[in-house]
Structure 1
Amino acid sequence: MSGALDVNGVAKAYRQYKGEIQRVASWFVPNVYPAKETWVLEDISFSLSPGEAVGIIGQNGAGKSTLLKIITGTTKPTNGSVQVKGKIAAILELGMGFNPDLTGRQNVYHSAGLMGYTSEQIDTVINNIEEFAEIGKYFEDPVRTFSSGMQMRVAFAVATAFRPDILIIDEALSVGDSYFQHKSFDRIREFREQGTSLLFVSHDKGAILALCDRAILLDKGHLLRDGDPEEITDYYNALIAEKANSTIEQVVMGNGGIQTRSGTAEAKVIEVALYNAKGQVAEYVGVGERVELRIKVKVYQSIETLVLGYGIKDRLGQVMHGTNTWHTKQVINKPNVGSEYEFVIAFQANLGVGSYSIQTALVDRDTHLTANYEWLDLALVFNVINIDKVHFAGCMWIESRITIEEYGK
């Protein structure tokens, strides 16, 4: 069985009263004693199909956690409804459902019991939970002595001890160490291969791109975008950099991709091309081939500094490499209005076989969050093919040498 989910017109308001008398009076005469209402979600509708993975992204205060609480039933919506098919396992706020005075082992029985499992069922997986969490002797200590990372380990181990139909994960995974994050994502992928549906909230663009078939962007309690993960995360990236006079534009390209352009337009990229080792414009380059990325920029308005950033993204939108001229100490100070500048970036295409894209950023310093003149995704698309290297797997080419020695018995 695979899980499915339908969210229909969900809205949530929190009411504030001047005092308890007003609160009680509003039960009997609501229109005479109205409360101050703050709407944190308004008219949210989307579906999660069986076996599908959907990522939810948005800035702090967008309503992501509230939406998950409504879906899992820990909070009731003010308006709308949620229909769930299948068993849900959820990891929301860190430590939710844990009693700080109970040991890790006792909390496993307590939390799994709240999920609807019997003591006999938990007995069959308790050793697996302890082994997966890897917190050693602390498993027998009170949870109040746990670090946030240890709580995360136990919570994730409990939530995934039995494969759910729908797995819901909030930002809690971000507190785990790198080793446990890798271990957790491996289990999530394993569940996905077995048919589990996934609802995943994260600010980690790479995780959304790697795990999800679709992404949803929430902003100030509204569903702003629903679509391809790369398209949505590119739009989100542009949104957080948006300033008073900036714009966000998305254009469907000839290959069906969605190009996102944002910024205040004081400077713009007017040409991008990739040249191969022969000095020719190339759509296809060989693994390890020496290439040049040439980017022409025009300055339209007076600015104090100009910095070019670029990134190489794989077909899922994950950045393989990126840097900018702030970090390379090549900032252009007081560029002339009307002038054009050509940036030539020479590198070896030590990438795995596949399709890649270039994103560019024109900013004032090391980040696009202070001044975003222009951010352009899918500025150029190229392909890497293996012409003369030994067969290899993965996203990058590493020149390696294998030696073998035999020792006598």
Structure 2
Amino acid sequence: MSGRVIVQGVGKAYTQWRSEWQRFARWFGANPRPLVEHWVLRDVSFEVAPGEAVGIIGQNGAGKSTLLKLITGTARPTEGHVALTGRVAAILELGMGFNPELTGRENVRHAAGLLGYTQEETERILPEVERFAEIGEYFDEPVRSYSSGMQVRVAFSIATATRPDVLIVDEALSVGDAYFVHKCFQRIRQFRTAGTTLLFVSHDPTAVQALCDRAILLVGGRKLLDGDPREVFDYYNALIAEKENSKLLVEKTADGAAKTESGTREAEVERVSLLDKTGAPVEYIGVGEPVELEVLVRVNEPVERLVFGYMIRDRLGQPVFGTNTHHTEQVCENLPAGALMRFRAAFQMSLGPGSYSISVALSSTETHLVRNYHWRDLALVFQVANVGLDAFIGTAWLPPVIVVESAEAGTALN
């Protein structure tokens, strides 16, 4: 059965009643006025088609985890309804449902029963769960002795022992070690290829953009955006920047991409250029050729501290390389109104063939979340082509020196 998720007008409120009598009266159809009613979600609607992957993003407290609980049925909505088709596997709160006094093996048997596996099916998948979790002898130790990462290993392994129609993953993977997270994402990609529908909550833009077809942005318990992951993350980053006196502008480029700008404009980017070795502006550059990024900045009001930064992104919006003048110890200080600054970054174009974009930022520190003077996404788009070099695959040009030699039997290999 294909996995489909339908969320219609869903809301969740946590209510404090004046008395227990009011609570009982509500059960019998009365509608008394509560003392306190706090809505954590309101009027959220979307649909995830079979085989589609959707990321859910937002700041802490935006309602992401509550939404997943409503979808999985571990909490009931106050309004609206949720419909799912197919077998659902979910990884929500860390260790949810584990008995700390039972061993990992015993918890797997218990969890498998709750997931609908028969005893025979449970014994069949148990070796695979143990193999994938890779926690060794701890599999037969009480879960109370587990680290958070070990709990994640067992939880993910049991939830994905067989391919579900719908896979729902909360932030639990953020506490796993890099090796196991890589294994998890590899399995998720395999499931996606086989047709599994994915709902994925994460603050990691790279993971969301790599795995998901769409992203949904929740703000204050309401759905604000639903669209291309890169565009949604750009808008999200602009929202969480300093809001005071800040302007947010989103416009479409000629090819339909969303271009996001934000900032107070105390300092403002006037021009962004990519120059070749002769100093001429270019939109096409060969792999390995020297280039220079030139950014002209005008200071509109006195600025005590100015940090310039840039980020190169691939065609999917994933970061390739970024730095700023805080990291290079070249911060500008006490700039007067009217000052005109030029920032130049020279480097070799060691990227693979493809389309790339450059985002630029002006802020008071190494992050635009403190004082965001001006942030321009898609400030410049350029193409990289392989002209005259050996063919290679990937987003980075790392030319090797490959040695090929005979290694006869008995020859010492160092």
Question: Which interval holds the TM-score relative to the shorter structure?
Answer: over 0.9
Q: What secondary structure, in the 3-state scheme, does the structure 2 residue paired with 1:270 have?
A: strand
CA distance in 2, matches of 1:288, 1:331: 29
What amino acid is the match of 2:8? N
CA distance in 1, matches of 2:116, 2:31: 41
> By how many angstroms is 1:405 displaced?
2.1
Equivalent residue number for residue 344 of structure 2: 344
CA distance in 1, matches of 2:100, 2:130: 18
Alignment of 1:108-257 (within 5 A): 108-257=108-257
> By how many angstroms is 1:75 displaced?
0.5
Q: What are the superposed Cα offsets for residues 178-229 of structure 1, whole Å, 9 maximum, x if unpaired?
A: 0001110000011111111110000011101111110000011000110000
Residues 32/88 of structure 1: CA separation in 2 closer, same or farther (3 Å cut): closer
The answer to whether 1:391 aligns with 2:391 is yes
Q: What are the superposed Cα offsets for residues 42-75 of structure 1, whole Å, 9 maximum, x if unpaired?
A: 0000010111110000000000000000000110
Contact 1:26/1:33 (CA < 8 Å) preserved in 2?
Answer: no
Q: What secondary structure, in the 3-state scheme, does the structure 2 residue paired with 1:210 have?
A: helix
Equivalent residue number for residue 56 of structure 1: 56
Contact 1:168/1:198 (CA < 8 Å) preserved in 2?
Answer: yes
CA distance in 1, matches of 2:52, 2:393: 26
Contact 1:10/1:80 (CA < 8 Å) preserved in 2?
Answer: yes
Q: What secondary structure, in the 3-state scheme, does the structure 1 residue paired with 2:303 have?
A: coil
Alignment of 1:304-343 (within 5 A): 304-343=304-343
Residues 299/117 of structure 1: CA separation in 2 closer, same or farther (3 Å cut): same
> By how many angstroms is 1:389 displaced?
2.1
Q: Where does structure 1 lack aligned partners over 5 or more consecutive residues?
A: none
223-232 vs 336-345, which deviates more?
336-345
Equivalent residue number for residue 107 of structure 1: 107
Percent identity of equivalent pairs: 58
CA distance in 1, matches of 2:49, 2:35: 38
> By how many angstroms is 1:92 displaced?
0.3
CA distance in 1, matches of 2:372, 2:34: 44
Q: TM (normalized to structure 2)?
A: 0.96
CA distance in 2, matches of 1:34, 1:366: 46
CA distance in 1, matches of 2:401, 2:28: 81
Equivalent residue number for residue 353 of structure 2: 353
The answer to whether 1:281 aligns with 2:281 is yes
Q: What are the superposed Cα offsets for residues 275-327 of structure 1, whole Å, 9 maximum, x if unpaired?
A: 12232211111111110011111111122111111000011111111111111
Q: TM (normalized to structure 1)?
A: 0.97
**Superposition CA RMSD, Å:** 1.4
- Paired residue total: 409
Residues 33/261 of structure 1: CA separation in 2 closer, same or farther (3 Å cut): closer
Contact 1:351/1:384 (CA < 8 Å) preserved in 2?
Answer: yes
The answer to whether 1:80 aligns with 2:80 is yes
Contact 1:267/1:374 (CA < 8 Å) preserved in 2?
Answer: yes
CA distance in 1, matches of 2:28, 2:396: 68
Alignment of 1:360-375 (within 5 A): 360-375=360-375
Contact 1:25/1:33 (CA < 8 Å) preserved in 2?
Answer: no
Contact 1:242/1:262 (CA < 8 Å) preserved in 2?
Answer: no
